[in-house]
A and B are shown apart, each in its own frame.
Chain A
Amino acid sequence: MAADAGWLRRALGHDLAWSFRHSPVTILAAFLTLVCVGAALFAPWIAPHNPFDSATLNLNDGFTPPAWTEKGSAKYLLGTDDQGRDVLSTIMYGSRISLGIGLAAVLFSLILGVTLGLLSGYLGGRLDAIIMRVADVQLSFPAILIALLVDGVARVALPRETHDDIAIPVLIFSIGVAGWVQYARTVRGSTLVEKNKEYVQAARVIGRHPTAIMLRHVLPNVTGPVLVIATIHIATAIITEATLSFLGVGVPPTQPSLGTLVRIGNDFLISGEWWITVFPGAALVVLVLSVNLLGDWLRDALNPKLR
């Protein structure tokens, strides 16, 4: 076990840092991710306006174009939407929601998938068969369909008045449920390999509880691939959330995510107010692309076969 932990530390301290320094695309992606995350995290302090304080909105400022155009105003760098909300500020606040939902959904998937994968791989038998068959069935559906299904059922099952309040937890749950299979299958594969190794057998011989063996001995040795999947999954989760919100089943317009902003702005595209939809769309592309590039890089860097 000590040898394996050492491998991880070596990789992080040495190989990863080396490959990061030698990949300009990755550096750029990391920089953009930092900017997005920073803007989202510190939005309440750095955003020029608070788009959700109704008392500060002025309807008369509605549909102001971006500052550099003829009718633009320096007050609103990227223009305003139909209610006079500053587009730049709504993007900052929107990224908060998008990133938050994406991260929470990934965390949920990860916990669910890793647990089921560990159980499935370590205990085997009928439980393994059931979990893996469920995973097979779920893999045959696109993730977005499952998220839509869960979301739809939740909407019917729960009273209408509570929809806005619970929209975000429901979204996290539905996106999370849609993504656990990858984790479970990867972890199960690694667990099958690890559980026959001598250190696991030794732990079993000295009478450690199976839960302890799974958590303390097997789990640390299957985390590498899980990290890679998780990073790439963040990008997918953000896109899924944006798609759901674009379709109108995601977060309510009172707490818009990037997807909701694109949907709202879409109504004004034909009439020429392009900035309301284009800027949130561009922010979404930048965010997802940079997270994805980081994930790709991490996958290559951690894969010894590619070296």
Chain B
Amino acid sequence: MNLRPFLAAALIAFSASSQAVTLKWGAQNDILTLDLHSQNHATTNGILQHTYEGLVRYTRDFAVEPCLAASWQLISPTQYRFNLRKNVKFHDGTPFTADDVVFSYHRILQPQGTMQIYVAGVKEVRKIDDYTVDLILGGPSPILLRNLVDFRIMSRAWAVKNKSENVQNYVAKEESYASRNTNGTGPYLIKLWEPDKRLVMQANPNWWGKLDGNVTEVIYTPIKADATRVAALLSGDVDIVTDLPTQDVTRLRNDPKLKVLDGHEVRTIFIGLDQHNSELLYSNVKGKNPFKDIRVRKALNLAVDREAIKRVTMRGLSIPAAIMVAPGVHGHSPDIDKVSPVDAEGARKLLAEAGYPNGFEFGLDCPNNRYVNDEEICQALVGMWARVGLKAKLNAQPMATFIQKIQKFDHAAYMLGWGVATFDGLYTLQSLVRTKTTGADGSFNLGRISDAKLDALIDALKTETDVKKRDGILREVLVATRDNYYYVPLHHQLRPWAMKKNVSTVHKADDRPESRFARID
């Protein structure tokens, strides 16, 4: 028997694998689906951006740069012309053209998906020729390009061939070819996805762009348990870990084999309050809603010791918040984000003035697997409010159950975190403060705050193109939201990532590592 061909093959395989640079990445959650237009979920978007691209993308510093569009110009305030990049091929070899952009626009708008906000304000996508599309807007949109980053393009031919023209209906547990397979234009191909086990990506040899790093293979492993995830990094099973448990950061910092990349996330954690029902749910106050009284809302704010949460629960990994947007979001300014010191006496006095000298009871809904230490923070809040006489009854549940409950307005108070994908304060204000409609306006205004004056200002923000004037309005709305105590902002999250010494990458404030920036030396 001649072994030579086998040996040669083995040698080739060996040399090929020795050239592959593999980044093993451990994180808390798995993605929900591979269908890029189905779920607006940070982890899912973070993985899919490796394989599907949009017309524009962010640079390392979150400036907008050309991606599948090579350039663009404003024809009128409501018409953008995008010149598409030529000679770009999808992973299956079909060429990328204007048809794919038009197709993807109609696909992302389908109601069973949750990604429509990324084409908000776009009325129509018009094909001019194979490599030119026009976006027709409903009105001027100062933040259109930032919105479009997460509007990613799927091949029309591939979707038609595999009967995946329709977005997967995730809530109805539907599966489609596109929810299990990918075909993008991006720097990495998704080779394998075993849900809750691992996801393997390989560098796309035919990508139009050039990797900033040298990683040719990425193995993404979701590891739910905090201690296990950290142990995997300490033992060298993974190269980089995101979603670090706060209590372990100090230890990882002191480990000579590891380094910690610090950075904040553009996400603000807050408590929302029902200000719509005439009788508060889950409360012993009957016949009225105490949260409609600004004095009660102010008392809730004054009773919270944000510094203690930062020091003990978050181990320093938070920035106490007074306004609803984090540093790094356009509109944030340190002078309006100053937290007033905790004042239990003042809170008690305000409650007495409002007619609740002995406080009252209310339900507090919390997720227990979404934000950093979410349940622990809620437990701490229960204690802080108890000291001024307010009895919060905590109901901590997994995100999937929690989010369904609060989206039905079946709550008195709830914890939520709001990340800003567009890096502009309008995204937060439009979703959380604008009076609720069926569309993007007030989409997560679950306390159903309704303030006509702020509504008018928020609507003005959408179309105001004079930067100075717009910044003034943005500041005014942020301050008014704070001074009306519509929410109880807690903190802005800090999200360090830990990795082996030989790994380098760029910390991203949207908490989505991009492997094209990663290097292993």
Interface residues of A (CB under 8 A from B): 53-55, 57-60, 62-63, 82-84, 160-161, 164, 253-254, 266-273
Contacts and interface: CB of A to CB of B under 8 A. Distances in A.
Nearest to A80: B312
8 contacts: A53-B386, A55-B386, A59-B309, A59-B312, A60-B305, A82-B313, A266-B227, A267-B227
A86 B248 CA distance: 22
Given A59-B384, A83-B379, A164-B395, 17 more contacts: A54-B382, A55-B383, A59-B305, A59-B308, A60-B308, A83-B380, A84-B312, A253-B375, A254-B394, A266-B227, A270-B234, A270-B247, A270-B251, A271-B247, A271-B250, A272-B251, A273-B247
Interface secondary structure of A, over-half rule: loop
Interface string B374-388: 011001101110110
Given A60-B311, A63-B312, A271 B386 contact: no
The 8 tightest CB contacts between A and B, nearest first, are: A55-B386, A271-B247, A62-B312, A54-B386, A57-B383, A54-B383, A59-B308, A59-B380
Nearest to A160: B401
Contacts of B311: 60
Nearest to B398: A160
Contact of A270 (B227, B305, B382, B395): B227
B231 interface: yes
B227 A269 contact: yes
Contact of B383 (A59, A160, A164, A254): A59
B230 A270 contact: yes
Q: Which of B251, B380, B401 has the most CB of A within 10 A?
A: B380
B225 to A, nearest CB: 9
B164 interface: no
Q: Number of contact residues on B: which range applies?
A: 20 to 34
B305 A267 contact: no
B383 A267 contact: no
B100 interface: no
Nearest to A57: B383
B481 to A, nearest CB: 26
Contacts of A53: 386
A270 B247 CA distance: 8
A82 B376 contact: yes
Contact of B312 (A82, A253, A270): A82
Interface string B216-260: 000000000011001100100000000001011011000000000
A225 B228 CA distance: 44
B312 A55 contact: no
Contacts of B248: 270-271
Nearest to A271: B247
Contacts of A62: 312-313
B397 interface: yes
A267 B311 CA distance: 17
B376 A83 contact: yes
A57 B308 CA distance: 12
A55 B251 contact: no
B379 A160 contact: no
A55 B380 contact: no
Interface of B: 226-227, 230-231, 234, 245, 247-248, 250-251, 305, 308-309, 311-313, 375-376, 379-380, 382-384, 386-387, 394-395, 397, 401
Contacts of A272: 251
Contacts of A84: 312, 383
Q: Which of B230, B376, B382 has the most CB of A within 10 A?
A: B376
Contacts of B313: 59, 62, 82
A161 B394 CA distance: 11
A179 to B, nearest CB: 29
Contacts of A164: 395
Nearest to B380: A59
B86 to A, nearest CB: 52
B397 A267 contact: no
A53 B383 CA distance: 8
A271 B251 contact: yes
Contact of B247 (A59, A254, A268): A268
A130 to B, nearest CB: 39
Nearest to B373: A82
Contacts of B231: 270
Nearest to A60: B308
A63 B376 CA distance: 13
Contacts of B397: 160
Contacts of A57: 383, 386
B227 A55 contact: no
Nearest to B312: A62
Contacts of A271: 245, 247-248, 250-251
Contacts of A254: 394
A57 B227 CA distance: 26
Contacts of B382: 54
Contacts of B247: 267-268, 270-271, 273
Nearest to B384: A59
Contacts of A253: 375
Q: Which of A59, A60, A164, A268 has the most CB of B within 10 A?
A: A59
Given A63-B312, A82-B376, A267 B226 contact: yes
Nearest to B392: A54
Contacts of A270: 227, 230-231, 234, 247-248, 251
Contacts of A161: 395
Contacts of B395: 161, 164
Nearest to A164: B395
